[in-house]
Homo-oligomer: A and B are copies of this chain.
């Protein structure tokens, strides 16, 4: 059900030929209210796609009526023509829904630098077609239409006492902080105001999507949007809502990790006993971005030397000669030297746990990443050709 699990939402996913495969490529999600609250976080990449620049303006007033998403083209670096395509998409949706274009969020994903008049015509047709097909159980169709190289749709729902949160996500590469080629739409029928929605969303993304760093590459098009209908009539405790939103976000983030392009291991990097959470994040990220470590995990090689070499490039507080490293429950390095033998570590399961004990404080953070594989290279060397 994804985004249509909560009351007050309709969605659709349609095919208009943006994908050469003929699969669905335009999704629409509409908030039927009574509230029309929206919040969003965007990529921190300074090279922003046209739909990002548009949508950043849309969410400023905390009102979002609907969101139109297309796969099959990022509409990034497509000049003023591309921005007009985004604008016309919002105008088209607004006209058909009888609302203001300034309350329509637009998202695009696909190849950068493409977005000609054929692209525009298809996106506009998809917007019209999608709105005609809106239904209260269209969440599944919408989640299929936003897929690019994803092998499966990503959906999550959290049910609470009389209210719920639903979400869908796409993304399978370019997963990195400040978000990734990741589009996420989350809906709720709980009652929240715009400030609460924004605060809960920033809290959730900061510790979930922002800590998914599959390949260190940051996208130009990333966006996570929360839409609030309030249709349940229930006003949950804020902390309870924030926790449920973080749960849905983490569920989707793990699904993104599990479907990352070409990956054969889902690596959970847990950094403990850091002096600060920032230090823990920095250390975890440095390992998550180390190609030599990632290639070693692909080879089922518990090469802890590469972990320490990666940590050593950070400014975090720690003593390189007093760090413990555990892989899948086996302490392979302690106090600047080898501990248990490499042979004791079984890296054949897809789920891989790396625990780094900095032994200098009490803060912790977890970063999710993937290994570096032949398939990753293959998929990303052939994507646009």
Mark A residues whose CB is within 8 Å of B: 44-48, 74, 76-79, 82, 111-114, 173-174, 178, 215-220, 289-292, 295-296, 298-301, 303-306, 308-314, 320-321, 333, 335-338, 342, 372-374, 376-378, 380-385
Looking at the complex, which one of B178, B218, B312, B381 makes contact with A218 (CB distance below 8 Å)?
B312
Q: In whole angstroms, how far apart are the Cα atoms of A45 and B298 in the complex?
A: 24
**Known A77-B333, A373-B377; 18 more pairs at CB < 8 Å:** A44-B313, A46-B311, A47-B308, A77-B305, A77-B338, A82-B337, A112-B308, A215-B292, A217-B291, A220-B305, A220-B309, A220-B312, A295-B377, A295-B381, A300-B385, A301-B384, A303-B384, A372-B377
Looking at the complex, which one of B74, B298, B301, B385 makes contact with A377 (CB distance below 8 Å)?
B298
Looking at the complex, which one of B220, B300, B308 makes contact with A308 (CB distance below 8 Å)?
B220
Are A77 and B337 in contact (CB-based, < 8 A)?
yes
Q: In whole angstroms, how far apart are the Cα atoms of A385 and B217 in the complex?
A: 29
Are B77 and A46 in contact (CB-based, < 8 A)?
no
Name the B residues within 8 Å of A305 (CB-CB). Answer: 74, 76-77, 111-113, 220
Name the B residues within 8 Å of A382 (CB-CB). Answer: 299, 301
Are A380 and B292 in contact (CB-based, < 8 A)?
yes
Are B380 and A374 in contact (CB-based, < 8 A)?
no
Q: In whole angstroms, how far apart are the Cα atoms of A382 and B219 in the complex?
A: 31
The DSSP consensus for interface residues of chain A is loop
Name the B residues within 8 Å of A290 (CB-CB). Answer: 216-217
Are B378 and A291 in contact (CB-based, < 8 A)?
no
CB-nearest residue of chain B relative to A381?
Answer: B299
Q: List 7 A-B contacts (CB under 8 A).
A: A46-B314, A79-B336, A112-B306, A113-B337, A217-B292, A218-B309, A301-B383
- Shortest Cβ-Cβ A-B pairs, 5 listed: A112-B305, A299-B381, A47-B312, A295-B380, A79-B337
- A315 to chain B: closest CB distance in Å? 9
CB-nearest residue of chain B relative to A81?
Answer: B337
CB-nearest residue of chain B relative to A378?
Answer: B374
- A285 to chain B: closest CB distance in Å? 13
CB-nearest residue of chain B relative to A314?
Answer: B46
CB-nearest residue of chain B relative to A76?
Answer: B305
Name the B residues within 8 Å of A303 (CB-CB). Answer: 112, 383-384
Are B309 and A45 in contact (CB-based, < 8 A)?
yes
Q: In whole angstroms, how far apart are the Cα atoms of A295 and B376 in the complex?
A: 8
CB-nearest residue of chain B relative to A380?
Answer: B295
Are A292 and B377 in contact (CB-based, < 8 A)?
no
Are A313 and B48 in contact (CB-based, < 8 A)?
no
- A29 to chain B: closest CB distance in Å? 26
CB-nearest residue of chain B relative to A338?
Answer: B113
Name the B residues within 8 Å of A216 (CB-CB). Answer: 289-291
Name the B residues within 8 Å of A338 (CB-CB). Answer: 77-78, 113-114
